[in-house]
Amino acid sequence: MKPSELLVGAARAASYNMMLQLTTRVLTFVLNAFILRYISHELLGVVNVRLTLLYSTSIFITREAFNRACLSHVGKASWTQIINLLWLTVPFSVVVCCILSFVWVSLLQRPDPSIIPYYDFGATCFALSTVIEVLAQPLWVIGQAFMFVKLRVLMDSFFLAVKSVITVFLILHKPQLGLVIFSLAQVISMCGYVTVYYVYFTLYMKSARKKNDDFPLKSIRDFFPKFIKNKSFINFDLALLTWTFMKQSLLKQFLTEGEKYVMTLFKVLSFADQGIYDIVHNLGSLAARFIFCPLEESGYLFFSQLLERGQPLKKQRKESSILAQKILSALLKTVTLIGLTILVYGYSYSFLALDIYGGSALSASSGPTLLRWYSLYVLVIAVNGVTECFVFATMSHEELDRCNVMMLLFSVIFLAASWILIQMFGSVGFILANCLNMLLRIANSVSFLWFYFSKISNHPMRALLLRPEIFASFAFTFTITCISESMFCCDQGLWRRAIHVGVGAVSNDRSLVQRQYLLLFHYSLPSTSPITVLSQFHS
């Protein structure tokens, strides 16, 4: 694809991701608020921390390295060899899930069976859902490679919606099933997810044949492995790159879900405390899910196809290097502004948000303090996500290996910091340790970026240096909302809460900050390019 086509495709992907995932997350957000009033914090901790960690670990180990490697080799290896390699994820997932299931069932602390029964059944179902999901892996990669911008978001939305509806239905009609409810919802929704993927591509290829489309795969059989005459079954360069990403993925998964691993392995919090922490994590990470993650994923896809991996900027095409510098600068500025806004408002509205979301039982716990600190963490992960998406898209194999060593060092520091800080500050220590971890990762990425763009006068990292008047605007908003919280929130009646919300709504300076957000979301319609818009107000 041409650079301009890549930009449009990546921008459209980010646009659809932000818009459609916002709708899905709102639905899930409302359903979770309902569920919180019917289940215990202990059950929530087992499901959303222990068993979800089993699923996320197995699916990340099984898929992430294959996804990154295959998307990087689009156009460099035959589609048959790519699909052959992707199907190796199925036996690999079986092995990974068997090992992890044994660890989760036999080696880790088990919940009290009188409070949380059916734990073994739950662990088996969550592991099985991973094996089911990778059956659609070749179709998922093809969809990403050919910029099927609506497909992935719609499929993720479908999976979450079906899972949530099944969960609510069973809670209302069979609440005594407890953990079985969440296990069945996980497996059934995943079966539907895979089935719809195959149905979609079967219908798409029939339509493509009638239109004489140049889509390289002609039938559903082409999505399955087969031998190639006079060629190896898989591309060995691609397999080597997959192994490199595999080592990196293991470390990245540990760093991403580090606090859950510490909770699970070292028993530092009860299941009830884990449930409260997970509620705060889900609420605090809403922005990361429907804004930052789509931007990072689209950015990685854009940069990995725009720039040649392992080559310095001076050896890239001039058009590509200029475009990369502009888009990286725009992304950094945008996520910084959004992150600062979340930090400013998150501090003064954490108690009110949790009281509305989960009731007094949640707001009277350690939740508000956790959410305030999590607002700071959101700013840090926003910057880290953008810098790493560029770094991982452009590093050579050797540089990726060196980065893996640094990730290993960061994981050791994170473990030590988590253990020390949780003894000092309780569950807040997890957030502080995560902030430290992300700051170290940002420093590692910045060192690469600084040398990569060293010959450019307008360095992309300067986008992080916002104008003094913008910082003054944020400081003013922070002060006003803090005063408002102390005067009107949060146990002094509904009308006082409304005043507190109103103060926050009018306290920010539209002329300095909000105009940029309005510009971004105004152009986030499917027919327009939000990443192009970001580059327009880069300076």
Token pair, residue 183, equals 């296990």
pLDDT of residue 492: 61
Q: What is the mean pLDDT of residues 120-144?
A: 93
**Cis? peptide before 389, omega within 30° of 0:** no
Amino acid at 243: W
pLDDT tier at 74, thresholds 50, 70, 90: low
Q: Of the candidates 173, 197, 217, which is a domain's last residue?
A: 217
Q: What mean pLDDT is reported for the chain?
A: 81
pLDDT for 324 equals 86
Instruction: Please check whether residue 428 lies inside any domain of the structure.
Output: no
Q: Is residue 59 part of a domain?
A: yes
- Tell whether 234 is covered by a domain: no
Q: Are residues 273 and 192 in the same domain?
A: no
Residues 202 and 277 in one domain: no
Question: Does residue 296 form part of some domain?
Answer: yes
* 229-253 tens-digit pLDDT: 777 888 888 888 888 888 777 777 7
Same domain, 331 and 448: yes
User: In this predicted structure, what is the pLDDT of residue 89?
Assistant: 92
Query: Which domain covers residue 502, as residue numbers?
Result: 269-395+438-528
More confident residue, 55 or 25: 55
Model confidence at 106, pLDDT cuts 50, 70, 90, reads very high
What confidence tens digit (pLDDT) does each residue in 369-403 have? 899 999 999 999 999 999 998 998 888 888 888 88
- The structure tokens listed for 49 are 């921390």
Looking at residue 278, its pLDDT comes to: 82
Q: Are residues 513 and 453 in the same domain?
A: yes
**pLDDT value, residue 76:** 62
Tell whether 213 and 275 lie within a shared domain.
no
Position 502 scores a pLDDT of: 83
Q: Is the bond leading into 70 cis (omega within 30 degrees of zero)?
A: no
Phi (first) and psi of residue 40, to 5 degrees: -80, 160
- Domain co-membership, 140 together with 288: no
Task: Please compute the mean of the pLDDT values over residues 328-334 and round it to a whole number.
Answer: 88
Of the segments 48-57, 220-229, 264-273, 452-461, which one has the largest average pLDDT value?
48-57
What is the reported pLDDT for 401? 83
Confidence of residue 491 (pLDDT cuts 50, 70, 90): low
Q: Count Cβ atoms below 10 Å from residue 236 Cβ, excluding itself.
A: 12
- pLDDT value of position 312: 84
Report residue 526's pLDDT band, with 50, 70 and 90 as the boundaries. very low
Q: Give the chain's domain count.
A: 2
Of 275, 281, 495, the C-alpha closest to 381 is 281
The answer to whether residue 92 sits within a structural domain is yes
Same domain for 198 and 297, yes or no, is: no
Among 177, 195, 217, the domain-final residue is 217
Final residue of a domain: which of 217, 236, 257? 217
Domain check: are 211 and 280 in the same one? no
Residue 118 to residues 82, 106, 169, 177, Cα–Cα distance (Å): 40, 14, 19, 9
Residue 409: left if φ>0, alpha if ψ -120 to 50, beta else—which one? alpha
Same domain membership, residue 285 and residue 391: yes
Residue 127 lies in a domain: yes
pLDDT of residue 15: 62
pLDDT tens-place string over residues 265-275: 877 788 888 88
Encoding tokens for residue 293? 């993650």
204 and 274 share one domain: no
The residues near 350 (Cβ < 8 Å, ≥ 6 apart) are 367, 368, 369, 371, 372, 375
> In angstroms, what CA-CA distances link 263 with 16, 42, 112, 183, 454?
35, 14, 17, 21, 42
Structure tokens at 400: 């990726």
3-state secondary structure of 230: coil
Residues 74 and 174 in one domain: yes
Residue 22 has pLDDT above 70, yes or no: no
Per the model's pLDDT, the better-predicted residue between 96 and 477 turns out to be 96
In this structure, the answer to whether residues 192 and 66 fall within a common structural domain is yes
pLDDT at position 353 over 50: yes
- Whether the predicted model's global pTM rises above the 0.95 cut: no
